[in-house]
Amino acid sequence: MSTNFNYCVFSIFCIEDFNKILDAIKIIYKSELKEKKADIYNSIFDIDKFINPPSGGKHLPRFCCWKNELYKDKIFFISNYEDGLINLCKQIQIKLGCSLIMCAMSNNLTYPKYMFYYLNQSENERLIQVYKEDKWIFYEKGYALPFENVNFYKKRQIRERLNNEIIYYYLNKNGIDFESIDKKVIIFFEFARKHW
Rounded to the nearest 5 percent, the helix, strand and coil shares of the chain are 25, 30, 40
Q: What average pLDDT does this structure show over 73-86?
A: 97
Per-residue pLDDT at 11 exceeds 90: yes
Beta strands 7-14 and 38-41 are unpaired
Predicted confidence band at 122 (pLDDT cuts at 50, 70, 90)? confident
Per-residue pLDDT tens digits for 144-168: 999 999 999 999 999 999 999 999 9
CA–CA separation, 151 and 67 (whole Å) = 33
Could you tell me which of 148, 166, 183 has the C-alpha nearest to residue 74? 183
Please enumerate in sequence order all residues whose Cβ is within 8 A of that of 156, keeping only pairs 6 or more positions apart, or say none.
Answer: none
Residue 20's pLDDT is what? 98
Which pTM value belongs to this model?
0.95
